Structure 1
Amino acid sequence: MPIDINRLQQALSVEAERGFSNLQGKQFLFADFLHVNLREDLPENWEMSDRLQAQTLASQYAQYNDLSLSRRQHLIAETRRLLYEVRRREIAETSALSGITKPQKKPKIEAITATEPKSTKKITPDTEIKDIEGIGSSLAVRFQLLDLHNVRDVLSYYPRDHIDYARQIPISDLKNGDTVTVIGTVKKFGCFTSPKNPNLTIVEIILRDRTGQIKLSRFWTGKRYSNRGWQEIQKRLYPQGCTIAASGVVKQSKYGLTLENYEVEVLEHTQDTIQSKTVGRVVPVYPLTEGITPEAIRSLVVQCLPAVSQIVDPMPDRLLRDYQMIRLPDAIAQVHYPDSSATLEQAVIRLTFDKYFYRRLVSLYRRQQQKAIHFVPKSQAIDQLEKIIPFELTNAQKRVIAEIRADLQGQTPMNRLVQGDVGSGKTIVAVYALLTAIEAGYQTALMAPTEVLTEQHYRKIVEWFMQLNLPVEILTGSIKTAKRREILRQLETGELPLVIGTHALIQDGVNFARLGLAVIDEQHRFGRDQRSRLLQKGEDPHVLIMTATPIPRTLYLTNSEIEVSIIDELPPGRKPIQTVILKPSQRKDAYDLIRREIAQGRQIYIVLPLVEESEKMEEIKAAIQEREHLQNVVFPNFQIGLLHGQMSSAEKDEAINIFRRGETQILVATTVIEVGVDIPNASVMLIEHADRFGLAQLHQLRGRVGRGSAQSYCLLLSSAKTQTAQERLQVLEQSQDGFFIAERDFQMRGKGKDEGTEQSGHSSFSIEDRLPDEAARQEIFQIAREAAERIIKKDATLENFPLLKAEFEMHYQRLQGGAIFT
Structure 2
Amino acid sequence: MNIYNDISALKGVGPKIQEALGRCGINNILDLLLYFPRDYEFTSVNVDMDDIDEEEKRVLECEYIQYERDIRTKTGKTLTTLIFKYGELIIKAKWFNQPYIKKTFVIGGKYNLYGKFKKCNTYLETVNPVIINDAINKSGIIAKYSLNSALTNKLLLKLVNQALEEVRISENLPRNIVSKYNFISLDKAIRSIHFPVTKGELEEAVRRLKFQELLTYSIKILMVKKLFKSNKRGIAFNICDEMIRLKEQLPFSLTNAQSRVIREILIDEKKPLAMNRLVQGDVGSGKTIVAVIAMFNVVKNGYQAVLMAPTEILANQHYKEIRKLLMNFHVDVEILTGSTSSSEKTRIKEKIKEGTPLVLIGTHALIEEDVELNKLGIIVTDEQHRFGVNQRSKLINKNNQADVLVMTATPIPRTLSLYLYSDLDVSIIDELPPGRQKIDTVFYEERHRKLAYNLALEQIKLGRQVYIVCPLIEENEDLKLNSVEKLYDSLKSEFFKEIPIEILHGKMNSKTKEEIMSRFKENNTKVLISTTVIEVGVNVPNASVMIIENAERFGLSQLHQLRGRVGRGQYKSYCILIANAKSNITKKRMMTMTESNDGFYIAEQDLKLRGSGELFGTRQHGDTGLILSDIMEDINLLKVANAEAKGIVYSEDEINMKFCEEVMKGLEKSSKYICFN
- Say whether the fold is shared (TM-score over 0.5): yes
Correspondence 1:583 to 2:498: no
Query: For 1:515, which of 376, 381, 385 is the aligned residue?
Result: 376
For 2:355 and 2:172, the matched residues in 1 are separated by: 51
How has the CA–CA distance of structure 1 residues 766 and 593 changed in structure 2, closer, same or farther, with 3 Å as cutoff?
Answer: closer
Correspondence 1:552 to 2:413: yes
**Structure 2 counterpart of 1:725, one-letter code:** T
How far off is 1:615 after superposition? Answer: 4.9
Query: For 1:289, which of 201, 204, 215 is the aligned residue?
Result: 204
Q: Which has the higher contact order (CA 8 A, sep 6+)?
A: 2
How far off is 1:476 after superposition? Answer: 0.7
Alignment of 1:151-170 (within 5 A): none
How far off is 1:808 after superposition? Answer: 6.5
Alignment of 1:344-355 (within 5 A): none
Query: For 2:464, which of 576, 599, 602 is the aligned residue?
Result: 602
- Structure with bigger gyration radius: 1
Match of 2:320 in 1: 459
Alignment of 1:394-543 (within 5 A): 394-543=255-404
Tell me, what secondary structure is at the counterpart of 1:684? strand
How far off is 1:765 after superposition? Answer: 7.3
For 1:762 and 1:483, the matched residues in 2 are separated by: 41
How far off is 1:585 after superposition? Answer: 2.2
How has the CA–CA distance of structure 1 residues 707 and 807 changed in structure 2, closer, same or farther, with 3 Å as cutoff?
Answer: same
How has the CA–CA distance of structure 1 residues 595 and 363 changed in structure 2, closer, same or farther, with 3 Å as cutoff?
Answer: closer
Match of 2:587 in 1: 726
How far off is 1:761 after superposition? Answer: 2.1
Query: For 1:370, which of 231, 237, 248 is the aligned residue?
Result: 231
**Structure 2 counterpart of 1:390, one-letter code:** P
Query: For 2:426, which of 549, 560, 564 is the aligned residue?
Result: 564
Correspondence 1:574 to 2:440: no
Give a deviation string over 1:143-168, Cα, whole Å, max 9, x none.
Answer: x9895734x8756889xxxxxxxxxx
Give a deviation string over 1:704-744, Cα, whole Å, max 9, x none.
Answer: 00111222110000123122222222221121111122222
Query: For 1:388, which of 249, 268, 277 is the aligned residue?
Result: 249
**Structure 2 counterpart of 1:698, one-letter code:** L
Equivalent residues of 2:310, 2:387 under 8 A apart: yes
The TM-score normalised by the length of structure 1 is 0.50
How has the CA–CA distance of structure 1 residues 149 and 644 changed in structure 2, closer, same or farther, with 3 Å as cutoff?
Answer: closer
Give a deviation string over 1:452-487, Cα, whole Å, max 9, x none.
Answer: 111111111011222211111111111111111101
Query: For 2:474, which of 588, 612, 630 is the aligned residue?
Result: 612
How far off is 1:759 after superposition? Answer: 7.6
Equivalent residues of 2:234, 2:402 under 8 A apart: yes
The TM-score normalised by the length of structure 2 is 0.60
For 1:372 and 1:438, the matched residues in 2 are separated by: 19
Equivalent residues of 2:377, 2:402 under 8 A apart: yes
Which 5+ residue runs of structure 2 have no aligned equivalent? 1-169, 184-196, 209-218, 614-619, 663-677
How far off is 1:694 after superposition? Answer: 1.6
How far off is 1:417 after superposition? Answer: 0.8
Correspondence 1:149 to 2:210: no
How has the CA–CA distance of structure 1 residues 592 and 807 changed in structure 2, closer, same or farther, with 3 Å as cutoff?
Answer: closer
For 1:701 and 1:809, the matched residues in 2 are separated by: 46
Tell me, what secondary structure is at the counterpart of 1:289? helix
Tell me, what secondary structure is at the counterpart of 1:606? strand
Correspondence 1:638 to 2:499: yes
How has the CA–CA distance of structure 1 residues 446 and 368 changed in structure 2, closer, same or farther, with 3 Å as cutoff?
Answer: closer
Match of 1:701 in 2: 562
Equivalent residues of 1:384, 1:468 under 8 A apart: no
How has the CA–CA distance of structure 1 residues 615 and 549 changed in structure 2, closer, same or farther, with 3 Å as cutoff?
Answer: same
Match of 2:14 in 1: none
For 1:378 and 1:154, the matched residues in 2 are separated by: 55
For 2:341 and 2:262, the matched residues in 1 are separated by: 36
Equivalent residues of 1:553, 1:739 under 8 A apart: no
Equivalent residues of 1:363, 1:560 under 8 A apart: no
Match of 1:687 in 2: 548
Equivalent residues of 1:362, 1:808 under 8 A apart: no
For 1:692 and 1:438, the matched residues in 2 are separated by: 43
**Structure 1 counterpart of 2:443, one-letter code:** I
Give a deviation string over 1:110-149, Cα, whole Å, max 9, x none.
Answer: xxxxxxxxxxxxxxxxxxxxxxxxxxxxxxxxxx989573
Tell me, what secondary structure is at the counterpart of 1:683? strand
For 1:814 and 1:402, the matched residues in 2 are separated by: 42
Give a deviation string over 1:26-60, Cα, whole Å, max 9, x none.
Answer: xxxxxxxxxxxxxxxxxxxxxxxxxxxxxxxxxxx
Tell me, what secondary structure is at the counterpart of 2:242? helix
For 2:182 and 2:236, the matched residues in 1 are separated by: 46
How has the CA–CA distance of structure 1 residues 542 and 759 changed in structure 2, closer, same or farther, with 3 Å as cutoff?
Answer: farther
How has the CA–CA distance of structure 1 residues 360 and 625 changed in structure 2, closer, same or farther, with 3 Å as cutoff?
Answer: closer
How has the CA–CA distance of structure 1 residues 517 and 767 changed in structure 2, closer, same or farther, with 3 Å as cutoff?
Answer: same
For 1:649 and 1:364, the matched residues in 2 are separated by: 33
Equivalent residues of 1:362, 1:811 under 8 A apart: no
For 2:206 and 2:601, the matched residues in 1 are separated by: 39
Match of 1:655 in 2: 516
Equivalent residues of 1:447, 1:505 under 8 A apart: yes
For 1:480 and 1:385, the matched residues in 2 are separated by: 32
Give a deviation string over 1:634-655, Cα, whole Å, max 9, x none.
Answer: 1223222222223222222222
For 1:371 and 1:438, the matched residues in 2 are separated by: 22
For 2:599 and 2:220, the matched residues in 1 are separated by: 27
For 2:521 and 2:207, the matched residues in 1 are separated by: 58
How far off is 1:494 after superposition? Answer: 1.2
Tell me, what secondary structure is at the counterpart of 1:611? coil
Q: How many percent identity over aligned positions?
A: 42
Match of 1:665 in 2: 526
Match of 1:737 in 2: 598
Give a deviation string over 1:156-211, Cα, whole Å, max 9, x none.
Answer: 889xxxxxxxxxxxxxxxxxxxxxxxxxxxxxxxxxxxxxxxxxxxxxxxxxxxxx
Equivalent residues of 1:447, 1:520 under 8 A apart: yes
Equivalent residues of 1:682, 1:706 under 8 A apart: yes
How far off is 1:621 after superposition? Answer: 2.9
Equivalent residues of 1:359, 1:560 under 8 A apart: no
**Structure 2 counterpart of 1:721, one-letter code:** K
Equivalent residues of 2:239, 2:266 under 8 A apart: no
Give a deviation string over 1:8-37, Cα, whole Å, max 9, x none.
Answer: xxxxxxxxxxxxxxxxxxxxxxxxxxxxxx
Match of 1:95 in 2: none
How has the CA–CA distance of structure 1 residues 601 and 585 changed in structure 2, closer, same or farther, with 3 Å as cutoff?
Answer: same
Equivalent residues of 1:442, 1:497 under 8 A apart: yes
How has the CA–CA distance of structure 1 residues 587 and 492 changed in structure 2, closer, same or farther, with 3 Å as cutoff?
Answer: same
Alignment of 1:20-31 (within 5 A): none
Alignment of 1:730-809 (within 5 A): 730-749=591-610, 758=626, 761-762=629-630, 766=636
Match of 1:191 in 2: none
Equivalent residues of 2:281, 2:287 under 8 A apart: yes
How has the CA–CA distance of structure 1 residues 392 and 723 changed in structure 2, closer, same or farther, with 3 Å as cutoff?
Answer: same
Match of 1:592 in 2: 454
For 1:611 and 1:359, the matched residues in 2 are separated by: 31
Tell me, what secondary structure is at the counterpart of 2:566? coil
Give a deviation string over 1:755-776, Cα, whole Å, max 9, x none.
Answer: x985862477758969xxxxxx
For 1:424 and 1:509, the matched residues in 2 are separated by: 35
